Amino acid sequence: MPCTEHAASENYADFIAYYYSSREEFMDFYGTRCVDFINDTQAVIYAPLSSVLPLTLSRYTYSAIPKLYSLLDASSMEAAGISEASRLPAFSNEGDGVLIGFVDTGIDYTNPLFQQNGASRIIGIWDQTIGSGSGDGGGNNARRNGVGANGGFQPLYGTMFTRDEISQALQSEDPFSLVPSRDEIGHGTFLSSLAAGSPDEAAGFSGAAPKAYLAMVKLKPAKQYLREFYLIRDGAHAYQENDIMMGISYLYSLSRQYSLPLVLCLCLGTNQGSHEGTSPLCQYLNNVSAYAGTAVITAAGNETGMGHHYRGVMEQPSAPHVVEITVAEQEQGFSMEFWAQDIEIYTIGFISPTGEVIRPLPASTTDDHMVTFLLEKTSIRVYYQIADFSNGSQLIFIRFQEPSPGIWRIVVSASLNLHGTFHLWLPGREFLSEGTFFLRPDPDTTIMEPGNARAPITLTAYNHETGGIYIHASRGYSRSGQIKPELTAPGVNILGASVSGPPFVRMTGTSAAAAHAAGAAASFLSWGVLQGNYPYMNTSVLKTLFIRGAKRNPELPYPNREFGYGTLDLTQSFLQLRRQ
């Protein structure tokens, strides 16, 4: 099988790796040419699945196995100060000349909202679900040392379509015969319309930056072996961390190809990871955020009230701490993660719903523990990682297979007898049955990765009509205490483009808030970079400007875990510059 078929094949496993030598030396070291290079230090290796099973954390590092991400959504422009800003003579660019890129479910490129004067404003689509053979060389073999023969972005899978190909398709009687990329789910189309949809006066609709260019990465579904490893429920939309990272690489390459400032908007999230922003994806976003002419926006997630986070304190270090979980009748299985907040070494045991006791399992760095029960068909696999290499914290990875319904108890013991703190996270609501949750959850520290990454701007959602925070908007701060989210934007009952039925639908969630901010960032980059007012503007600069101009309720302290530093106000952020 040629390398061009490995990346998408269910018979091959994906691993995220770091390299600090030449690409040639890296491939020689691993003995394979089947590698996609994400950037100058990160790569994806494709290996035969039969050679890597069973997939366990005693054989592979935690960060090497791609995490799985889900979608973050279940007269808004005025509330964010975007319409008012567009009426300021010096700030009426509406995102002109800036590229807004999404890594999501695709885009309905035939929608008139993404056209201007009959021409498409979409300059590129990379559809990871379409095999090689069509589009601009996507998935072809024109590769040398992991990149295209012409030095451009050239992945081992999917198909890339150019603006010319999209325009030709739009002029055809059957557009999808030329560019067969569709958004079956509608999430990516909806967000793209919020960020950069053209005005539709009849519907009373306009995107935040209607003159901006757009680009879309349509993610391929997660491979079955990873769904089985993480015990993702059937029917859930799940996407791999390495595919998201490759999508970011494509968007950045496209912005350099066209010499355009880039706003990268990520509206995907996961409860997997340290919640300190230390995953491979978070590290990549931190690097991209620093580039001049680039802004990175992430959504916080919709996990408050779901009961998926637990915070424990060993108030009596010599006594065990009991964590209770209700497991739903229909739950087939799930994974969860335990992260220590300190240098303590923890061990865990279990008490089943029928009362069977499993004593604390020793913390081993070389073996997984498989636990079975006499009276239940449940099996639990436990892996200890004494110190994660990216942040130094202890990780305990737990897999519940065929859990019996009822109340399960995890008995936590401390080895060093310190007054330690620990966190547990269940999967996000997309991956878990509704009736599975902690009995005494902590609503804080529920921002999903990559929303805890240090450099990007993380957006949460509020109701722009009432001023109240969205009831399920994830709360900060990060596990390390970093201020997240930074800002709040409209995200309740928001109007946007549909891919089926009526032309517009309404959606609620922090993804909508992030799309608002992406459009606002495009307007700032157009003014700063393209008009020469702030040529080196990047994510850090934009974050400061947005925070300075944010609206704040005099009755609330700021920053806080719900609103961050306040609600987005593009007009005031711009006017703050005049006062300097």
- Within a domain: 10: yes
| Three-class DSSP category at 511 | helix
Q: Which active-site residues does the annotation give?
A: 104, 187, 511
Question: Domain boundary at 42, 69, 96, which?
Answer: 69
- pLDDT at residue 151, rounded to an integer: 41
Q: Are residues 205 and 78 in the same domain?
A: yes
- Residue 149 domain-assigned? no
Regarding whether 227 and 167 lie in a shared domain, the answer is: yes
Q: Are residues 179 and 319 in the same domain?
A: no
Tell me if 270 sits within 8 A of 281, measured CB to CB: no
Asked if residue 316 belongs to a domain, the reply is yes
Q: How many domains does the chain have?
A: 3
Neighbours of 191 (CB within 10 A): 34
> What contacts 63, CB < 8 A, 6 or more positions away?
16, 279, 280, 388, 389, 390
CATH number for the domain that contains residue 25? 3.30.70
Q: Residue 7 falls within a domain, yes or no?
A: yes
323 and 300 within one domain: no
Residue finishing a domain among 69, 86, 106: 69
Tokens of 461: 């959602």
Q: What is the pTM (predicted TM-score) of this model? A: 0.94
Q: By C-alpha distance, which of 64, 56, 50, 51 is closest to 367?
A: 56
Distance (Å, whole) CA 244 – CA 297: 14
Cα separation, 387 vs 365, in Å, equals 10
Q: CATH number for the domain including 370? A: 2.60.120.1290
Q: Are residues 336 and 237 in the same domain?
A: no
Residue 87, pLDDT score: 52
* Residue 50 belongs to domain spanning: 3-69
Q: How many CB atoms lie within 10 A of CB 468?
A: 11
Q: How far apart are CA 372 and CA 219, in angstroms?
A: 37
* In a shared domain, residues 235 and 92: yes
**Dihedral sign, Cα of residue 522, residue 527, residue 532, residue 533:** negative
Instruction: Decide if 153 is inside a domain.
Output: no
318 shares a domain with 189: no
Summarised one tens digit per residue, pLDDT across range 260-291 is: 999 999 999 999 999 999 999 999 999 999 99
Do 174 and 285 share a domain, yes or no? yes
Q: What's the CATH number where 483 sits? A: 3.40.50.200
The pLDDT tens digits along the chain (580 residues) read: 567 777 889 999 999 999 998 899 999 888 888 999 999 999 999 999 999 998 988 888 899 999 999 998 753 444 444 555 455 555 567 889 999 999 999 999 999 999 988 889 999 999 999 984 334 433 333 232 333 323 478 899 999 999 999 999 999 999 999 999 999 999 999 999 999 999 998 888 999 999 999 999 999 999 999 999 999 998 999 999 999 999 999 999 999 999 999 999 999 999 999 999 999 999 999 999 999 999 999 999 999 999 999 999 998 878 899 999 999 998 999 999 999 998 889 999 999 999 999 999 999 776 789 999 988 899 999 999 988 877 788 999 999 999 999 999 999 999 887 778 999 999 999 999 999 999 999 999 999 999 999 999 999 999 999 999 999 999 999 999 999 999 999 999 999 999 988 899 999 999 999 999 999 999 999 999 999 999 999 999 999 999 999 999 999 999 999 999 999 999 999 888 775 5
CA distance 179 to 122: 13
State the Cα–Cα distance between residues 239 and 68, nearest whole angstrom. 5
> Cα 447 to the chain's mean position, in Å?
11
User: Are 219 and 353 found together in one domain?
Assistant: no
In sequence order, the 6+-apart residues with CB closer than 8 A to the CB of 452 are: 273, 275, 276, 277, 282, 458, 478, 479, 482, 484
32 and 167 part of one domain: no
On whether both 57 and 170 belong to a single domain, the answer is: no
Boundary (domain end) residue, out of 69, 97, 112: 69
Q: Domain for residue 275, yes or no?
A: yes
Residue 139 in any domain: the answer is: no
Q: Are residues 380 and 357 in the same domain?
A: yes
Residue-wise pLDDT for 351-371, tens only, equals 999 999 999 999 977 678 999
